[in-house]
Structure 1
Amino acid sequence: PTPRSPAPPRATAPARTHTPADPSAHRAAFDAAPLPMALVDETGTITAANPALHQYLALPAASLAGRPLTHLTALGLAPHTTPGLPEVFSGRRHHLVCTRRITSPRGGDSWAEIRLEHLAPTSGALLTVRDTSLGHELRARLRTAEREDPLTRLASRAHFLDRLADTLEEHGLRGGRGRVGLCVLGLDGFRHVNTAHGHLVGDHLLRAVAARLARLAPLLASAHGEAPVLARLGGDEFALLVREVHEVRGGGEAREGREAREAREVHGVRETHGAHDGREDREATGSGGPGQLAELATTVLRELREPYDIAGRRLSVSASAGVAELRARETSPAELMRAVTTALGWAKAEGGGGWALFDSARSEDGAHRDLLASALRPAVRDGEFELEYQPLVALADGTLHGVEALVRWRHPRFGKLAPNRFIDVAERDGSIVELGRWVLRTACAQARSWQLARPGARPPYVSVNVTVRQLWDSDVVGDVAAVLAETRLPPSLLQLELTESEVVGQTGRPLRALQELSDMGVRIAIDDFGTGYSNLSYLSRLPVSVLKLDGSFVRGFPFTGSAPEADAPAAAPALPASRDRTAATVIAGAPARATTAEGRPADEVIVEALVGLAHRLGLTVTAECVETRSQAERLRAMGCDMGQGYLYSRPVPPERIGVLLETTGRCPGWTTSSS
């Protein structure tokens, strides 16, 4: 084999040579750099400084070389304020960074990040100064935004909560015996202002409200002269924090101990029955009113009602307020805010323009109602409801003509609940439709069984309460027709009751449903008649056959001077109301009707007039809350047709009604005028 010739040698690249950089180039770059810089030797003496540093410090050119770095007071690098400088100069420390506020000789301040970095392998360091004023300003603005509401310049929600937490902590350090008060305001109808006038006008209004509150705050100073802390929580809500609450009553003297606690409890119960607008007792709030927070809320709401001149418009708005006063050691910021927000909701629910004081019992009742709401639908399916029946008695002869069906809830945890505990809840969440169907079916089936048990005798009709929500949300006409067909109950033995407040003003579907039910032969009754509407023209338009007079009229009858036992309530009635309302409940739409020992003679005249009017319209009249024989006899003398109340019977199980029908058919409370 032919031997290989050796490969030619590879060409090698010429070796690179590194020439030292031109020091003059380094110096030119140093001098041209826009970043202020300086070279410092191991002793801390400036050996060179670029023009940018001279310009930044407003010093003559080339005036820094040879000066100790620590003598530049503008940079604030004195040894006692910046330890570690010698270590950086000597190389024992790699670098040092600090932030300083720079005051220029020409005036004005700026912020800078100053950095010293050791220059290895030689001794000395490089100083750089970077202006951070813009970032510092942005951070300052962010901190201000956290503390201050940008629209109104009041404290922000976050800052307010910090102040609240600090207040509670201060009380804790002093033993936590003090009380902290909080008032949250919400403008009524602010959404309408935005809709009608635009958001710009709405913003102007919020600023005007904030300015008015700020002017008012010094006048609301506490006993120690401290004005409440003001804040805008967001939207149209504002807050006032009273860091130290003092109960002041009776000529302005503080009352401590049990007496003050009892006074607070009394006022707490009173105010939470409804929003308080403060108009009736403005003059009394300082000394005899409900205390410091009540006076604050009343004063603020009064001032906020004054008109505002906004962008050429004169606007009037009212506000609602929630007030909470709790012991500092027993609460937290979140709990106090939750309490006052709950109270604000109560005030808004009462129609606005007033304030409500937080009451823990009422709040617990709200939680209780929420619990009931979640259990309502399953309770209908599980058969936890039952019906009791209260007689409807002919005043002429005392015979039982009908009964009203009243629903009860046998709750597995809370026991037997009357309808006032859950009907409102059922209306709100819509379960009233399902519950109403069960009541209708059960009542009609019971009425049919009474009819079959006494062939040939006059059977009692059954009266079932219906809400306007059922007329809107369900096919009530179809439901009634189906139940009547299923139970084979004649339509004439069914009466449906709606309260006057629900039926007045109804048009469209509810009115058509009532007409169809009436055409079917079902009786339509107006319950609680006479509770404040006074417009009787609707009686001619509605298919009504029965008026049930509100019980407050009967309770207003004057007591007779003879036969005291005749005016004594029958069988110690616990609740003188045919629909099991609690004694504390005031009928919607009507003021509370207090009855004196002399009664209200005008009520007797009104009842007589209403009975005559109803009869001329072809309607029968049932009087509710008949409790005494005297009341029954006067109603009979007026021509009233039917009576219902504890004189005759409380609501009872269906078996008791069956026994009554099988015996005399007359209720025990009936008596003739001669007996």
Structure 2
Amino acid sequence: MPDDTAAQDTSHRTGSARSRAAGAVAFARRWAAELVETSHVPMSLGQVEEFLLPLTELIAAALESDPFDAEPVVEVGDDLVAMHFTGEGVLRSTLALVTGELPELLCLPGGPDLVARAGAVCGVLADAYAHALRQRTLDEQETIKRAVLKARDAMEQRLRASEERFRTVFTTSAVGIGIVSTDWYILDANESLLDILGYERDELSRTFAGELVHPDDISGLADLYGELVRGQRRHFTTEKRLLRSNGDQVWAHMVVSLVRDERGEPDYHVVMVEDVSELHLLQEWLRHQAVHDRLTGLPNRAQFVSRVESAAGRAGPTTRIALCHLGIDGFKVLNNGLGHDVGDGVLRETALRLRSLVPESRGLVARTGGDEFGILLERTSDTAEVVDLVERALRAVAEPIRTGGHEVSVSASAGVVERRAAGADPAELLRDAALTLHWAKTDGRAQWTLFDAERSRRDRDRLELAATIPTALRNGEFFVAYQPQVRLADGVVVGVDALARWDHPVLGELGAERFLDLAEQTGSAVPLGWRLLGEACAQATEWRRTLPGPALAVNVRLGLRHWRDPELIGGIRSVLADSGLDAERLRLEVPAAAVLAEDGDLPETLEVLGAIGVRVVLTGLRPGHVDRPALELLPVHGWKVSRVPAETAEERGLAELVALAHKADRVVVADGVATEEHATRLRDLGVDVAQGPHYGEPGHAADIEELLADR
């Protein structure tokens, strides 16, 4: 059987590799078809495909790299330029294919990570392509300059040949070339430069070159020219805006060289111009995408954080600032129920509504996460102003949304932080807003909650406590405290309730109510449960050996995660075997609400435990609020109520529960018995077993031994 599995794995990997290779070939073929339409190179379509296949593999490897590294894609940009794939649209079509078709053909898993990787790969590819073009421009410029100098310095009989060579480069170059006098009038221009600027030759001749430069870029160009004339540089490279004949702007990559005469005096300039408007727009688009959410068009979390930092940094001593962290309630249910297209439509409409509420001069609305939005409001007057905005935002989100053929109504919750901006820590502002949103959702949803410093402190303390549970577990800081359980009919101790305690090195002894819920949240509940269960069972076995009278039962509370552990039954068998405890002396507590609401394997688990002799006790029952038929059907030993009834109606409910339990051959245990009066009332109501301060507080094993010795 293992050989078959290995063969299947090998076959699967081979199939995946073949599928990927086929995808790479298909992409190279598609890419080649695009490039031959935009560039004329002396290669057949098949040769172009062969040339592009290894470049495809480079891009694919970068997308799949771990850790992610886009730098190898630099070779792709270099090779495209080296093979003269430099026609208009080459870069645009290449990037469109990389972001659009390559992931699908290679069967790459989608998601935000793939989108981010594809964007980074495209950025590196675009930069490499632009750099290679610039380098080629520099190389051509140097060739021209050498040709010019050679023409001037050559002997008269070679002058004509030299000038012819220059003229060939001048007239055939795809780069715009202009010969400009030292007083910046255009003496000559090739066809490429005329095309870039949109002029006829006679229109451009003797035109002052400064008139072709955007007014905002003149001063920077003049500074570079001064360095050139003073001999501080042989040439300079820059990107400036030029003006076409119709007034349109052209982003131009320019290389300007100064040619000197035989005396070393400035003679004329050679200016090489390449239209990089498309590349400039692409770079602008990439910069925009880096700080905006693609789905909604809103600023993303990175821009939101930057804006918050900026607002806090420039705030005056009395300036106030507000953050609202807003989340759509139940968005996952909406997505799963109606589909992601409907969910996307809800997010887009929500973004539009929120953006309309905040003037750009006062703040910013951003999408900060999947179904979450951030609102920054600057220069607030007081909390009331912010509350008004938040309430309007919640009402706006709650308005019905029509999308994807559905009318959808959603609600939202919001966490609000408003405070003095000067000296505020942006990271703390963002953290407090996110925490306050969590409170709003926890407290009931469809509402807003204002940040509370004291509640935040308590939450931080709980989180810090939760973070130390795994270490405390390794250090053996948890132990079992035992509380006696007494049979009400005769007052005999029949068992003990094993309760988890934490001997915290700073806070002292902590009760289970301080940390069990945290253990459930951090994933430590199961290992903690096994440790406490093992200790309690071992102690019960020791008491059976050393104490006179009937053996004590031991009651252990397990967390819900532990009850759902697939290793539960096997683990309990092992604990019983290791400790030597009889199965019928072990009582395991399980929340009744969890069992009654469970549609998985928990009821079956209870049956298996009963079959091996372990007794199960349902906890958390509220007399008068129980599903009687469901309770009767559950295979459990008993039911446990957590408090003594305080009113006549509660007593009636408990009496009914006791009658139902005894009819079903179950026992009823009451917790929280504090007085003899409590014990008498419970005994009169028919309760079987009780525990609480009246019979003894939770203590060490020695305390139980002393209690039994006294009785």
TM-score (norm 1): 0.69
Equivalence map 1:449-528=2 (5 Å):
449-452=542-545, 455=548, 457-473=549-565, 475-477=567-569, 479-480=571-572, 489-506=581-598, 509-528=601-620
Distance in 2 (alpha carbons) for counterparts of 1:308 and 1:547: 48
CA contact (8 A) 1:448 1:487 kept: yes
Match of 1:648 in 2: 695
The one of 275, 281, 292 aligned to 1:131: 275
Question: Separation in 2 of the partners of 1:55 and 1:196?
Answer: 56
Following superposition, the deviation at residue 305 of structure 1 comes to 3.4
One-letter amino acid of the structure 1 residue matched with residue 609 of structure 2: L
Deviation at 1:541, TM superposition (A): 1.7
Q: Distance in 2 between matches of 1:179 and 1:189?
A: 32
Distance 1:25 1:620 in 2: 108
1:372 corresponds to which letter in structure 2?
T
- Counterpart residue identity of residue 144, structure 1: H
Q: Distance in 2 between matches of 1:77 and 1:418?
A: 72
Gap regions ≥5 residues in structure 2? 1-154
Give 1:263's aligned residue: none
Contact preservation (8 Å) 1:38, 1:126 = yes
TM-score (norm: length of structure 2): 0.66
> Aligned AA for 1:535?
D
Deviations 1:257-302 (A, max 9, x none): xxxxxxxxxxxxxxxxxxxxxxxxxxxxxxxxxxx65665555344
State how far apart, in whole Å, the 2-side matches of 1:537 and 1:142 are: 64
Letter of the 1:161 partner, please give it: V
Matched, 1:215 2:367: no
Match of 1:374 among 462, 470, 488: 470
C-alpha contact 1:114 1:130 (8 A) present in aligned 2: yes
What is the aligned counterpart of 1:633 among 668, 673, 680? 680
Question: Match for residue 56 of structure 2?
Answer: none
TM-superposition CA deviations, 1:132-191 (whole Å, max 9, x none)? 3223322332333344333322223332222111111012xx24x655432233334444
Kindly state the Cα deviation for residue 443 of structure 1 after the two structures are TM-superposed. 3.0
Listed one character per residue, the Cα deviations across residues 231-278 of structure 1 (whole Å, up to 9, x for unaligned) are 122433321113345544xxx6xxxxxxxxxxxxxxxxxxxxxxxxxx
Question: Out of 161, 182, 202, which is 1:62 matched to?
Answer: 202
Query: Aligned pair in 2 of structure 1 residues 417, 18: CA closer, same or farther (>3 Å)?
Result: farther
Listed one character per residue, the Cα deviations across residues 623-660 of structure 1 (whole Å, up to 9, x for unaligned) are: 22223444333333333333322233322333333333
The residue aligned with 2:514 is: 421
Over 3 Å counting, the alpha-carbon distance change for 1:460 and 1:52 in structure 2 is closer
Query: In the alignment, residue 515 of structure 1 is paired with which amino acid?
Result: E
Question: How many angstroms apart in 1 are the aligned matches of 2:340 and 2:612?
Answer: 53
SS in 1 for 2:652: helix
Aligned identity (percent) is 33
Query: Secondary structure of 2:283's match?
Result: helix
**Is 1:607 the counterpart of 2:654 in the alignment?**
yes
Alpha carbons of structure 1 residues 491 and 235: separation in structure 2 relative to 1, 3 Å: closer
Supply the AA of the counterpart residue of 1:622. V
Structure 1 residues 506 and 38 mapped into 2: Cα distance closer, same or farther (>3 Å)? Answer: closer
Sort the Cα spacing of 1:200 and 1:649 in 2 relative to 1 into closer, same or farther, 3 A: same
* Partner residue in 1 for 2:303: 159
Matches within 5 A, 1:267-306: 296-297=389-390, 299-306=392-399
How far, CA to CA, are the matches of 1:319 and 1:610 in structure 2? 41
Give the counterpart letter for 1:108 in structure 2.
Answer: D
1:393 is aligned to 2:486 = yes
Q: Which has the larger radius of gyration?
A: 1
1:526 and 1:56, CA in 2 relative to 1: closer, same or farther beyond 3 A?
Answer: closer
Alpha-carbon contact 2:645-2:654 (below 8 Å) kept:
no
Q: Residue 40 of structure 1 contacts residue 48 of structure 1 at CA under 8 Å; is this kept in 2? A: yes
What is the match of residue 316 of structure 1? 409
Give RMSD over aligned pairs. 4.0
Distance across 1 between alignment mates of 2:489 and 2:457: 46
Residue 230 of structure 1: how far off its partner (Å): 0.3
Distance in 2 between residues matched to 1:60 and 1:486, nearest whole Å:
98
In structure 2, relative to structure 1, the CA distance for the partners of 1:153 and 1:431 (3 Å cut) is: closer
1:370-389 per-position Cα deviation (integer Å, ceiling 9, x unaligned): 4333224424xx4x333322
Counterpart in the other structure of 2:17: none
Number of matched pairs: 549
Ranked by relative contact order (alpha carbons within 8 Å, sequence separation 6 or more), the top structure is 1
Deviation, 1:207, is 1.1
1:494-539 Cα offsets, whole Å, 9 max, x none, are 3322221232244665334433433444433212212896322222
Q: Which structure dedicates a bigger proportion of its chain to helix?
A: 2
| Kept in 1: contact 2:483–2:497 (CA 8 A) | yes
8 Å Cα contact 1:42-1:86 kept in structure 2: no
1:408 aligns with 2:501: yes
Choose from 233, 241, 247 the match for 2:376. Answer: 241
- Per-residue deviation at 1:194? 4.5
Residue 502 of structure 2 aligns to a residue whose secondary structure is strand
Q: Which residue of 1 aligns with 2:345?
A: 204
**CA apart distance, 1:621:** 2.1
Instruction: Output the CA distance in 2 between the equivalents of 1:529 and 1:214.
Output: 48
Question: Structure 1 residues 367-376 or 321-330, which shifts more?
Answer: 321-330
Tell me which amino acid in the other structure corresponds to 2:474. Answer: P
The residue aligned with 1:587 is none
Aligned residues of 1:89 and 1:125 also touching (Cα < 8 A):
no
